Each structure stands twice: as C-alpha cells, then as structure tokens.
C-alpha cells in the first residue's frame, strides 16, 4: 500500500480515525462502482466481482484496522480514498489471483473528489436514519405522554429565574414537545438535500473518464442496498460545496440546544433536596453514587452527561462552519473533517437523546405538594387576588409572604375559611386563558 504508507508520514498523526459508518459508506461506493463498471463492460467479470467481494468485506468491517490515514489529511479526502482503494485492490487480488490495481481497477471512473464527498453524505444519512430519527421520535413520544400525564400538576412559573404566574408541569413539557417535533421535521427535510450524491463528477464535476450512465446506475445500486432513496446531485455543486451537510449540522445544533434547555430546567427542578427546588425526583439517577465523599448524595448524572454531549455537538458545528468554507472554484477542501464530524454529531446526539429519554423523562416523578406550595407562594398571585380580597388585605398578604408564608397560610391567618381560600386560589383557572377573577362591585 504505497500511497497509504507515504501519506501517513505527510498527514497529521493525531490518532483520529474515520468512524465505522464512513468506512462502510466508502466500501458501499466501491461495491456499487465495481458492479456498474462490470455491467458496462469496463471491468472484466473476474476482476469486477473480486472488487465487489472485497468491497463487501470492507463494508462488513473486516479491514477497519487497515484504514490508517488520519482524518486531518488532504482536504479532498484523497488519503481516505486511496487507503480504501489499496485495501480493496490487495484483497481482490487474493480473491481473483490476478493483479488488481487500486487506481486502474478499483478507482475506475471515479475520483477522490466525488467518491469521498459521496460517501460522507451516505454515512450522514444512514446514521441519521438508523440512530437519530428513532431516538428523536422516542423523546417526542415520551414528552407527549408526560405532558398529558402531568397536565394538572400545578407549579410556579418562572421568568428571569423569578416567581411568576402558575403553570402546569404538562404545559412546560408541551413547549419542549413542540420544539423537538419541529426539530424532527427540519432534520428530515435537510436529509432530503443531503441525499443528493455527486458520484460521477470525477475530478471537477464534468464526469470526464467515466461512463455517462455511471452516476444514475451507481446511485440505483446504492439504493437497492440501503433503501434510502438517494438521488443524483448537480455534480458541480456537490463537489465544490458542503452546505447541505452544514445545514444538517445546523439542524443537529438546534436540536442539541433544545435538549440543553430541557436539561437545564430538569437540573433546576431536581436541585436540592433541602436547599434547592426539589420539584421532581429522578429515581434512576441514584443508581450510582453522586459523590465520592458525601454518602447518599444523588446527582443528575445523565443530564450532565447529556449537556457535555450537547457542548460537543455545538462545537463540532462551529468546526463545520469553518470546514465548509475551505476550498476554491471546483472543489471543497473540508471533506474528511466534515465527514468525521457529522457522523460523530449524529452518534453523540442520538445517544444523548436516548439516555435522556429512558433515564430522565421516562423516570421523572413530580413532587406535587411542593410544586403547589411554590405556586401558592408566588408574589405574582397577589395581583390576581387583589380585586377579590381588596387592596389593603392584598398588601398585608404581601408583607406576610416575605416572612415565608404561602398565600394560603396568609389568607388563613386573615380569617378566611379553607372553602373560601380554595375559591380564591383556584390555580387551575390561572393556567388557562381568560379572566379567572372578577372585581367586586
């Protein structure tokens, strides 16, 4: 493997290797290309079938250890393409007993410029459909169930981290349910764009040194294996621009940020138990010790791990912004890095969504009494009940709230019966549209 051996000296040596999904996609492109070239009579049957068989073995992961080039390499991904070509040529030679050349045979009708840019798009779509879409759907389903289940659980609303009007836990969760539902639609729409493959463009998009039918026929073979409905791209756009992948990265970033916001709210509600909000319990988080020095401490470990994954997804998106700007004229020069990043983003976000759903949202238990006490202690309620009990009494309640009483307790001290208090503090009415309290005449 002459090219690969020399390239490892010239590229970076960070130890950053291409993920399984990208290697699989490269094997798929080589398999489909060899099959089409054989059917078109451009490769002899014995050589073509040997390349196909070796390419399948690459897809299956048999030679992952031999894909040694660093991700930080030449910007077109030539290092990766030639590494794969040489692995397949050597193995195909063993299978056929013939001398098979990595360029003349394995790379026939192709260029690094169109094969690697095609493979990273396949890897991004395949990993998204396999991992991300199911994980996001699972969170959406769980949020829908919890939103309905907790729709009557009254809690204090908060704005600027200060007390505000009442809301239900279900209403809070419904906001995130809607956000993630929109995120899913955006990701699915963006994936349709990423499905456009520039294979067949060879070096600059013209398709020189490849058969005119090559692009369409190769994509047909890829679709027969993946059932993912890939389509031909404008080859000039697909070689010079990676903005379709950048759009997907941006959609992943937006989803990650929504997950971050949900995680922060969960952390605050779980804070305590004595000196924080303690509005919810997360029983699963007690399965590991929260502290190596404080026995019995429970921390929101899954939430925190999720926030770390989110930070990485957002950071990789920023790297993708830079990588997508690399290149001039006919070629993008951030191909290997964006291929690595987008697959890593999908895997990180998918894992975070899955664990967060299973261990946090599914296991959430509201502390309903504490939530209601907070809601009944909010100074914002004074404005609501003032027309009913009068300004002077409302002012007195406000003074008593500063001493730690709830509005219910303050009203009781002012002589109101529990029945009267329940009518005044009908918090359920305050969580719905309308004018719940009328002025006394």
Residue 423 resides in a domain: yes
Tell me, yes or no, whether 102 and 156 share the same domain: no
Tell me, yes or no, whether 280 and 246 share the same domain: yes
Tell me, yes or no, whether 173 and 96 share the same domain: no
204 vs 218: CA distance, rounded Å: 18
Residue 47 belongs to domain spanning: 3-108
Tell me, yes or no, whether 295 and 185 share the same domain: yes
Residue 291 appears among annotated catalytic residues: yes
Residue 403 appears among annotated catalytic residues: no
CATH of the domain at 161: 1.20.200.10
Mind listing the pLDDT tens digit for each residue in 128-182?
Answer: 999 999 999 999 999 999 999 999 999 999 999 998 889 999 999 999 999 999 9
Please, which residues have CB within 8 angstroms of residue 213's CB and are 6 or more apart in sequence? 36, 40
Tell me, yes or no, whether 53 and 89 share the same domain: yes
- Given a cut of 60, whether residue 440 has pLDDT beyond it is no
Tell me, yes or no, whether 137 and 267 share the same domain: yes
Mind listing the pLDDT tens digit for each residue in 222-253?
Answer: 999 999 999 999 999 999 999 999 999 999 99
Tell me, yes or no, whether 161 and 295 share the same domain: yes
Tell me, yes or no, whether 125 and 27 share the same domain: no
What pLDDT is stored for residue 437 in this prediction?
A: 58
Tell me, yes or no, whether 92 and 126 share the same domain: no
Tell me, yes or no, whether 83 and 170 share the same domain: no
Cα distance from N-terminal residue to C-terminal residue, the chain: 93
34 vs 24: CA distance, rounded Å: 15
Mind listing the pLDDT tens digit for each residue in 199-218?
Answer: 999 999 999 999 999 999 99
Q: Which of 325, 318, 316 is nearest to 71 (CA)?
A: 316
Determine which of 10-19, 50-59, 331-340, 378-387 has the lowest per-residue pLDDT on average: 378-387
Answer whether 96's CB lies under 8 Å from 47's CB.
yes
Mind listing the pLDDT tens digit for each residue in 320-348?
Answer: 999 999 999 999 999 999 999 999 999 99
Helix axes 133-149, 169-194, angle to 10 degrees: 160
154: helix, strand or coil: strand
330 vs 11: CA distance, rounded Å: 23
Residue 115 resides in a domain: no
Neighbours of 369 (CB within 10 A): 8
The one catalytic residue in 160, 227, 438, 441 is 160
Residue 436 resides in a domain: no
- Given a cut of 90, whether residue 405 has pLDDT beyond it is no
The pLDDT mean for the chain works out to: 93
Tell me, yes or no, whether 101 and 124 share the same domain: no
Answer whether 48's CB lies under 8 Å from 55's CB.
no
CATH of the domain at 33: 1.10.275.10
86 band by pLDDT with thresholds 50, 70 and 90: very high
Tell me, yes or no, whether 240 and 330 share the same domain: yes
Residue 437 resides in a domain: no
HEC string of 69-119 equals CCCCCCCCCHHHHHHHHHHHHHHHHHHHCCCCCHHHHHCCCCCHHHHHHHH
pTM score: 0.93
CATH of the domain at 382: 1.10.40
Q: 108, 132, 148: which is the final residue of a domain?
A: 108
- Given a cut of 50, whether residue 411 has pLDDT beyond it is yes
Answer whether 316's CB lies under 8 Å from 344's CB.
yes
What pLDDT is stored for residue 290 in this prediction?
A: 65
Query: If you count them, how many residues does the chain have?
Result: 441
What pLDDT is stored for residue 347 in this prediction?
A: 98
- Given a cut of 90, whether residue 303 has pLDDT beyond it is yes
The one catalytic residue in 148, 182, 291, 318 is 291
> Number of folded domains in the chain?
3
């Amino acid at each position: 493997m002459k090219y690969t051996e020399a390239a490892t000296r010239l590229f970076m040596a960070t130890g950053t290797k291409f993920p399984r999904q990208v290697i699989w996609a490269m094997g798929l492109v080589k398999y489909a290309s060899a099959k089409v070239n054989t059917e078109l009579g451009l490769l002899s049957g014995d050589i073509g079938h040997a390349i196909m068989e070796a390419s399948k073995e690459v897809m299956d992961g048999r030679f992952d250890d031999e894909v040694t080039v660093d991700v930080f390499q030449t910007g077109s991904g030539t290092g990766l393409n030639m590494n794969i070509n040489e692995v397949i040529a050597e193995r195909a030679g063993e299978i056929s007993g013939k001398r098979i050349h990595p360029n003349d045979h394995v790379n026939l009708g192709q260029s690094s410029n169109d094969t690697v840019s095609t493979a990273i798009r396949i890897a991004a779509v395949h990993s998204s459909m396999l991992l991300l879409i199911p994980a996001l759907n699972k969170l959406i389903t769980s949020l829908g169930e919890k939103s309905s289940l907790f729709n009557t659980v009254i809690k204090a609303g908060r704005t600027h981290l200060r007390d505000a009007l009442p809301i239900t836990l279900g209403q809070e969760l419904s906001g995130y349910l809607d956000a993630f539902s929109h995120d899913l639609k955006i990701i699915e729409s963006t994936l349709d764009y990423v499905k456009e493959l520039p294979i067949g463009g060879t070096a600059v998009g013209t398709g020189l040194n490849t058969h005119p039918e090559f692009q369409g026929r190769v994509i047909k073979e890829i679709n027969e294996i993946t059932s993912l409905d890939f389509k031909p791209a404008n080859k000039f756009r697909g070689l010079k621009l990676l903005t379709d992948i950048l759009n997907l990265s941006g959609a992943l970033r937006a989803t990650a940020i929504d997950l971050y916001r949900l995680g922060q709210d969960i952390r605050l509600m779980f804070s305590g138990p004595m000196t924080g909000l303690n509005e919810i319990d997360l029983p699963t988080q007690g399965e590991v010790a929260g502290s190596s020095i404080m026995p019995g401490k429970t921390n929101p470990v899954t939430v925190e791990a999720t926030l770390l994954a989110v930070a990485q997804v957002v950071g990789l998106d920023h790297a993708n912004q830079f990588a997508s700007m690399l290149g001039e004229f006919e070629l993008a020069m951030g191909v290997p890095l964006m291929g690595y990043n987008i697959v890593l983003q999908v895997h990180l976000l998918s894992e975070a969504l899955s664990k967060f759903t299973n261990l946090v949202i599914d296991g959430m238990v509201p502390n309903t009494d504490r939530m209601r006490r907070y809601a009944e202690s909010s100074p914002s309620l004074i404005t609501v009940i003032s027309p009913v009990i009068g300004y002077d009494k409302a002012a007195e309640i406000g003074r008593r709230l500063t001493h730690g009483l709830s509005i219910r307790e303050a009203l009781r001290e002012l002589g109101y019966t529990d029945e009267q208090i329940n009518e005044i503090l009908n918090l359920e009415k305050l969580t719905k549209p309308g004018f719940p309290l009328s002025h006394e005449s």
